[in-house]
Structure 1
Amino acid sequence: MGRVSMFDCFEGEPKTSLKECLQLYWGYRLLELAQIHGLQVDEGTSDADIIEQLIPKMLDNFPNDVEYLNETEWLFLNRVKQNPNEEMNDIEKKQYATLKWFGYAYLFNHNGHIYPVIPKELLSLLPQSYSEEFERRVERKQKLFTYTLALVNLYGAYRIEQLVDVWNMYNKEKITVDDAKEYVRAMDKRQGYFWYDKGYVVSNLMEDEKQYLALIKNSYRGPYFLPTKSDIAFYSDIEHSLSSSYFKKIEEFIWSKNILDENEVEDLLYDILGVFQLDLSLEVIIDMLKDMGIELNDEDEAEEFMRMLRVASDNTRKWGLRGHMPAELGKSRAKVPVDGPQLQKPQPRTVKKIGRNDPCYCGSGKKYKHCCGKI
């Protein structure tokens, strides 16, 4: 994760009011902020009118939105609050990406120094001293995000009741299904990893309702794989499968071809992981390599690479097996059925909110996952 670059900043002396900061944006970005904050405006609305409508809405939303920040974002917010006029050249994108997405944080490059700004109207809404109740709510929401994401990475799509069951198994403070629904619905617009639909929490790699319902219909009917409490954080890392020794061998093989750059390798590895998670035919991966200009030299190399794929696939937790590995259920690669055309290679969900493969909202021109979403 790199430090903030000058490209992420507005040039000039830092602004301090919310109106001044919003006036730095125009057009699509203001329409985007309007949608994020629940305003109904059309493309014919002037920038000035959108800003006037946004200000009271953002002031109303801010106290609730900040309760959903993760620990890293909280540290950044409090650092700015305590030192509002202090330069911070050591900022990392993951510290402010969510706040920037909501229009709550702005970075200014003034004479070569970076100054973060949380508009003064927003800072005034933060409690002067955090009560135990406030801290408890924030901590619970941060932990709920970890649990929700861990189960998304394991299952692909699951009933909200599964989140409640796993949470209540490991935590003294219990939650209800209504608590979980309220949280997941609120988080739906705040991140690019999962979404909520008709009682299901769904990976953002699932394109639409049809795809995730097909996954559920064709899934193993036994119990879910249940991570231990200590493993929840591990599975919440979207790259946990990519860190296995089996996957590293595939990565080394791809690099040995000297065809792709770093971002292309990362994209390919995510696509391969998607094939494994959905338990698609391994031939799909061979086609991916060909499309990217990677050829297998001979039959021996092809056989060795397919062996790598089979081993890695058998050691990947399958969405169609409710988070189990094939070996845990006594299934080999040859025995696990390959889903038909109902399940396709995962694609980014086509929605207005940011997704991992969407252009980053900071305007860098990079994909979100290679920019502000690279956490």
Structure 2
Amino acid sequence: MKAKCYYCNKELTERTIKRHMKNCSEMEKRIDEKRTTDENLRNQFIIAIKPKYTGNDYCIYLSIDGTLGLVHIDQFIRDIWVECCDHLSGFRIRGKFYQDHSMNTRLNDILDIDEKFEYEYDFGSTTHLILEVVDIRLVPSSFSQIEIIARNHDIKHECETCGAEAKYFNYEKDEWECENCIDENNDMISEFEYCNSPRDGVCGYEGHKEAENMYLPGNTKKYKLSKKNMKVQDDYKSISAYEDDIFEDSPDMEYAFDDLLSKSKIIVNKAFNRGIYSFDINELISDLSKDTVYDIAKYLGMTKISSLNKSKLVEKLLCEYEGLIEERMSLFDEERYKLLKSYGDNNGIKAFNEISEENLYKIGYFLQNGMLFSAVKDEELVILMPEVVQKLVKEKNNIQYRSMIKVNSEIVNLYRGMNKAYGLLKFKDIKELFKRYSPYKESAEHIESNSLYESQKYRIEDVITKAEDYYREYEIQGIFFINCYIDNWVDLLKEIEQQIKVNYTMISKEDLLAMSDDNYIYESQFGSAFFKEFLSMFSMEEDILEGLMESLYLEIQENELEAVMTEILEQLEDDNKEIKEFMSNSVGKFLRNIRLWRFKGANLNEKKPNIIRSEKQKIVRRNDPCLCGSGKKYKNCCAKDGNVIKLF
């Protein structure tokens, strides 16, 4: 890569650019000049932006005011590098996905020096970028708020037919071509006058050099963070996660839930392309765009593919396809095999309109992995399974394979339960937790015992990792496995690690497996009791009550019980003492039974300190209901192990 500093015009390479942008003398001079007339200082972030998958030819360095938000970085990237059809976009930072309103998060509040994070534009033909905060410096408040301070030189594409310099892109063949090799009668060919974006040749994108003019060093354009003026991307208008009357003024909690479901739904919808109707894997793969083929290859674990043109990429994927699919199926649980088998049992095809919304997200997993494909038959959208996958599914329908995926199911569901109970775990912690449960006691990394495991070694990490995109309940960031509802996992990690002498709460295998169920929060003993109590007192739609329970579940994870209860009671317009007392008791019992991530899976009933009698010395007998609100008898709750009750 060759690039230029926009301050001193010095030529830079991939090896020198980062060091130079932290020490450019001309930039320092400009900052010092401003300081002579402006003594008020603020943070200015220097951020490197590069493609995640397409090599090292492209690079932009951005200088931006720390009081601005992710929304301003998003607009900068759109203006300079990616905008074509007003697609969706978002940032992934420390396990949380920021989009729409949550992009108003200030840089000062979320980023730090050496922080690396990701950006995605267009959840169909996605452009993936990696961003890194290489420096944070103090600058006068009058300094330009957003500047482009370095960029790679124009890119010269080569004709994939003859090797000459190419200025045309053939969208039908997904190839660059020169003037001598193009078909002039093909209306799927576009001419490019300026090529300098990793999105060149994708979805009709056309770059323009003048797009960067408004961001050149020294510009005086003013920006501010304004939630009122925040644009909501169109595809989200019809999507709502749940209705929440009590916590309607808690946007961060709502976005955590809404962002997860919205992004999943849009990715799936974008994946349903109107492809060719065929059961031949060669025809199906060859008909896809280069980006889609690349995504399938990446999901299946292929490496060293970023530099391949489409024809070479297709050739390599087809050569390895069957082995990769079989390897992926070896890590399936029973649910995934059952869903895939349902297509094989139906001659490898199902109409799109017959797929339930619940299964829509799950079908997206198989589309991403190239096991299913979308196509058009008789003007209707269908989902079909290639013959080679049908053959594999049929061959796997035997006792040995079913025994294997039964064990995989237990591994996946045990971890899904852990994910709900503990929230955030390092993989070494997961291995230790697995050792508590038979038959994982001997080794949590490789399991070998009896006839069930005769010829198979199970790697728990692989089984859990390959289930991530299917269940969409957790994310993996390096060594950390993170519940998708966690807003800021780094802060949570710090809080957990302060509990040096506290072990992860012992939870029975049966309870963890029960917690893996999607409806656990409503169907657990304490959740079911709350559900019935609430409906007996209030006239409320069941789906709204479920949304309330989800909100309470998330709220208690981050806040103290007293604060949550105070907020609930303050928002009740009814002054009826009986209703407020009911709310306090019923909600309190529910919240005290929720396993909390910050307490390593302990609930408030298990976490509460020893309790002593109050000033009034009220006597609580052993068989009386415990005053903590757990619903248990005093002798089985706060009086257990010699504790006594204090009335506050």
Counting matched residue pairs gives 320
Say whether 1:70 aligns with 2:350.
no
How far, CA to CA, are the matches of 2:562 and 2:540 in structure 1? 19
Say whether 1:17 aligns with 2:251.
no
Per-residue CA distance 1:205-257 (angstroms, 9 max, x = gap): 23455134124225584343323233332111243223313542697499847
Say whether 1:327 aligns with 2:595.
no
Q: 2:573 aligns with which of 292, 296, 299?
A: 296
Q: 1:231 aligns with which of 511, 517, 530?
A: 511
In the alignment, residue 512 of structure 2 is paired with which amino acid? I
Unaligned runs of 5+ in 1: 1-6, 334-375
- 2:504 is paired with a residue of what secondary structure? coil
How far, CA to CA, are the matches of 1:90 and 1:187 in structure 2? 24
Range with greater deviation from structure 2 (64-73 or 124-133) = 124-133
**In structure 2, what is the equivalent of residue 144 of structure 1?**
411
How far, CA to CA, are the matches of 1:102 and 1:175 in structure 2? 30
How far, CA to CA, are the matches of 2:565 and 2:321 in structure 1? 45
Q: 1:83 to 1:240 in 2, by over 3 A?
A: closer
**In structure 2, what is the equivalent of residue 240 of structure 1?**
520
Compare the two structures and name the one with the higher strand fraction. Answer: 2
Say whether 1:177 aligns with 2:445.
yes
Deviation for aligned residue 1:152: 1.2
- 1:222 is paired with a residue of what secondary structure? coil
In the alignment, residue 177 of structure 1 is paired with which amino acid? E
Deviation for aligned residue 1:115: 5.8
CA contact (8 A) 1:163 1:180 kept: no
How far, CA to CA, are the matches of 1:189 and 1:228 in structure 2? 26
1:337-352 to 2 correspondence within 5 Å? none
Range with greater deviation from structure 2 (92-101 or 151-160) = 92-101
- 2:594 is paired with a residue of what secondary structure? coil
Q: 1:207 to 1:50 in 2, by over 3 A?
A: farther
Deviation for aligned residue 1:20: 4.0
Compare the two structures and name the one with the higher helix fraction. Answer: 1
In the alignment, residue 583 of structure 2 is paired with which amino acid? F
- 2:602 is paired with a residue of what secondary structure? coil
In the alignment, residue 171 of structure 1 is paired with which amino acid? S
Deviation for aligned residue 1:194: 2.1
Q: 2:592 aligns with which of 314, 321, 339?
A: 314
- What's the TM-score once normalised by structure 2's chain length? 0.40
In the alignment, residue 437 of structure 2 is paired with which amino acid? Y
**In structure 1, what is the equivalent of residue 100 of structure 2?**
none
1:1-375 to 2 correspondence within 5 Å? 14-22=277-285, 32-33=295-296, 35-38=298-301, 54-56=317-319, 58-84=321-347, 92=356, 93-94=358-359, 96-106=363-373, 110=377, 116-125=383-392, 128=395, 133-172=400-439, 174-177=442-445, 179-197=459-477, 199-207=479-487, 209-219=489-499, 221-243=501-523, 244-245=527-528, 247-248=530-531, 252=535, 256=539, 262=543, 268-280=548-560, 283=563, 296-298=573-575, 300=577, 304-331=582-609
How far, CA to CA, are the matches of 1:12 and 1:254 in structure 2? 53
**In structure 1, what is the equivalent of residue 452 of structure 2?**
none
- 1:65 is paired with a residue of what secondary structure? helix
How far, CA to CA, are the matches of 2:322 and 2:408 in structure 1? 21
In the alignment, residue 139 of structure 1 is paired with which amino acid? K
Range with greater deviation from structure 2 (315-324 or 122-131) = 122-131
Deviation for aligned residue 1:144: 0.5
How far, CA to CA, are the matches of 2:394 and 2:366 in structure 1? 17
How far, CA to CA, are the matches of 1:232 and 1:168 in structure 2? 14
In the alignment, residue 157 of structure 1 is paired with which amino acid? L
Range with greater deviation from structure 2 (242-251 or 142-151) = 242-251
- 1:202 is paired with a residue of what secondary structure? strand
CA contact (8 A) 2:595 2:603 kept: yes
CA contact (8 A) 2:552 2:591 kept: no
Per-residue CA distance 1:91-116 (angstroms, 9 max, x = gap): 55537453234231135564598864
Percentage identity across paired residues of the two chains: 12
Cα RMSD of the aligned pairs, angstroms, is 4.6
Q: 1:105 to 1:209 in 2, by over 3 A?
A: same
How far, CA to CA, are the matches of 1:316 and 1:111 in structure 2? 51
Deviation for aligned residue 1:161: 4.5
- 1:68 is paired with a residue of what secondary structure? coil
- 1:158 is paired with a residue of what secondary structure? strand
Range with greater deviation from structure 2 (300-309 or 63-72) = 300-309
Per-residue CA distance 1:45-73 (angstroms, 9 max, x = gap): 98777656654464442112122333233
Q: 1:276 to 1:13 in 2, by over 3 A?
A: same
Deviation for aligned residue 1:145: 0.2
How far, CA to CA, are the matches of 1:156 and 1:28 in structure 2? 34
In the alignment, residue 64 of structure 1 is paired with which amino acid? E
How far, CA to CA, are the matches of 1:315 and 1:268 in structure 2? 16
CA contact (8 A) 1:11 1:109 kept: yes
- 1:311 is paired with a residue of what secondary structure? helix
Per-residue CA distance 1:286-334 (angstroms, 9 max, x = gap): 76999xxx7634474556534443222112122223222222344499x
- What's the TM-score once normalised by structure 1's chain length? 0.64
Q: 1:197 to 1:108 in 2, by over 3 A?
A: closer
Q: 1:28 to 1:114 in 2, by over 3 A?
A: closer
Deviation for aligned residue 1:119: 1.2
Range with greater deviation from structure 2 (74-83 or 316-325) = 74-83
CA contact (8 A) 2:348 2:386 kept: no
Deviation for aligned residue 1:76: 3.3
CA contact (8 A) 1:249 1:308 kept: no
CA contact (8 A) 1:241 1:247 kept: no
- 2:482 is paired with a residue of what secondary structure? strand
In the alignment, residue 318 of structure 1 is paired with which amino acid? L
Q: 1:250 to 1:207 in 2, by over 3 A?
A: farther
Runs (4+) off by over 6 Å: 7-13, 44-50, 285-290
In the alignment, residue 551 of structure 2 is paired with which amino acid? D
- 2:325 is paired with a residue of what secondary structure? helix
Q: 1:25 to 1:177 in 2, by over 3 A?
A: same
How far, CA to CA, are the matches of 1:83 and 1:156 in structure 2? 39
In the alignment, residue 591 of structure 2 is paired with which amino acid? S
Q: 1:256 to 1:177 in 2, by over 3 A?
A: same
